[in-house]
Amino acid sequence: VYGVISDGSAGLAEQTVTIDAQESADRQPVTLTFTIPDARRWTMEDPYLYQLHLTVTNSKGDMDDLSLPLGLRTISLESGKWVLNGQTIPIMGEALTLQEEYRLRSSGELESWLISERQKGKNLVYFLGQLPDEIWLKTADKVGIGLWAELPVELIPSKRLPQPDVFRKLISEKNLHPSLWAWTVGKGLESDSLAQNYFKQAEKEVQPNLAFALKLNPNDLTGLPEEQSIHVQGTMIQGVWGGVTVGTPFIGFHWAKESIFAGSFAFLMVFLGWMNIRSVTWRYKEIGNKKPKRRLRSAWLWNGLFVFARICMLAGLVTSGIFRIPICANPWLSHLWPRIQLLQEQSPWLIWAMLVGLFMLLRRLQVGVAAPHLPDAPHEVRLIYWLERRYRWAVFIAIAWALLPWGIPYYAVTISYIILVCLFLPIRIRDIHHIRGRYLPFLWVPGIIIASLLVWAFFYWPDWIFLWNWLLPLTGAIIEQFRTLW
């Protein structure tokens, strides 16, 4: 193994090491020690980079080589303050969100943005929920600004924490860059011995760079020194060393035309409700009528339209609720709702249409399973029409949904829907008993769905316990957040 360090024009130091190849080993550690006379440090004012060229040859004549820039600097934490090359630097950092990083990358503004941050007095960029790739690292090496990266360990129960050495290759590759100063090795973890042991091992893995832990509760223990255990407060993290602020926090997604859609749907529901009231009242025994009269056919038409409209309204309420989930309640918790965020990135109209199809399928499945157990085994579609008589109150829910922009809270609409479903349940049961049927078959499909969800939740019970312990101290703030959004 031959290595040479140059300043771009001439070699300054070289070293050769001979090692014995091991047949069973895929990798072998090799240490090369160079002595550079009058070495120049990599600093923010003078981000000087040497060139390291490595060549590997064997007795068979095979050869491989690698060239990479090399910056010489030291970073440490002394008395709670960051020390770069022996000089204390007050940290003035900017946190970069995933969305802002994507925008800068797409527009090709990486270097110009880093230069503008330096001109604003910033000396560090924190990568939220992501790892800086080679483009960012090389550009930061060139510009002369520090980077703070995160390991993907966030809001994980202690029993599922990874071993820190699984990140060893990743960390060693990133640590080659002088612009990378610090790592957040964990965010929002528990305070037990397993978590503290993880933090201590992870601190060793990221050396010689700095290791930090972000905690959501100031009383949480991490096993790291106090200055390395940072309490997340709003859009900023800070300590005696300085602070890092989220410059452009992600405001989340929303259903832009929900109010127009809800208002139009309210008028439609009122119209369909009125036409259902005007239609002829028909009985259960008429479901099997082979030659229905015109008035009965008209009643079935308006009943069917009302069923479809109510399902569409229910799908709209669920879609509205999906886009009201506060995935950006805390910008430092980028992976709080990863699947919900992925869902919110889709078109609300597509989500609404898929929910309409799903709810219609479940309703037909529920009634289709129960129909053979009722007298005369009625047709499931007409049975749905007959059962829909007890859902005409949905008109008021549609009106309340349309009034959301005028101050009615979303949770009031959803809770009202659930309460009305429960209040009319005895009436629906009485209707089935009146025709000498049993209501139990109607509960089979909902029961199977609920049982499946409970079985799924059982396999994630450590996550539910962790979530409960995490949310308990934050109950007040979360309720206030939901009041604002819902």
Q: How far apart are CA 79 and CA 68, in angstroms?
A: 34
Other C-beta atoms closer than 10 Å to the C-beta of 48 total 17
Per-domain residue ranges of the chain: 2-70, 75-246, 273-450
Q: How far apart are CA 437 and CA 257, in angstroms?
A: 44
> Class for domain 75-246, per CATH?
alpha beta
One-letter amino acid identity for 455? Answer: V
Average pLDDT, stretch 64-78? Answer: 91
Whether residue 481 is predicted with pLDDT greater than 60 in this model: the reply is no
Are 134 and 109 a contacting pair, CB within 8 Å?
Answer: no
Tokens 């005369």 -> residue: 376
Whether residue 483 is predicted with pLDDT greater than 60 in this model: the reply is no
Distance set, CA 428 to CA 314, 371, 374, 398, 472 (Å): 19, 15, 14, 21, 39
Structure tokens at 466: 């962790």
Are 281 and 300 a contacting pair, CB within 8 Å?
Answer: no
Structure tokens at 74: 């030291």
Whether residue 477 is predicted with pLDDT greater than 70 in this model: the reply is no
- pLDDT band for position 393 (cuts 50, 70, 90): very high
Query: pTM higher than 0.85, yes or no?
Result: no
- pLDDT band for position 329 (cuts 50, 70, 90): low
pLDDT of residue 371: 92
- pLDDT band for position 471 (cuts 50, 70, 90): low
pLDDT of residue 355: 96
- pLDDT band for position 24 (cuts 50, 70, 90): low
Computed over every residue of the chain, the mean pLDDT equals: 88
Q: How far is CA 266 from the centre of its chain?
A: 33
Are 336 and 330 a contacting pair, CB within 8 Å?
Answer: yes
SS3 (DSSP) at 223 = coil
Q: How far apart are CA 258 and CA 302, in angstroms?
A: 25
Q: Which residue from 384, 389, 401, 387 is spatially nearest to 313, judged by alpha carbons?
A: 401
Residue 113 phi/psi, 5° resolution?
A: -70, -45
Structure tokens at 142: 């060139």
- pLDDT band for position 414 (cuts 50, 70, 90): very high
Are 68 and 176 a contacting pair, CB within 8 Å?
Answer: yes
By the 10 Å C-beta count (0-12 exposed, 13-18 middle, 19+ buried), 434 is classed as exposed
List, for residues 115-132, the tens digit of each pLDDT value. Answer: 999 999 999 999 998 899
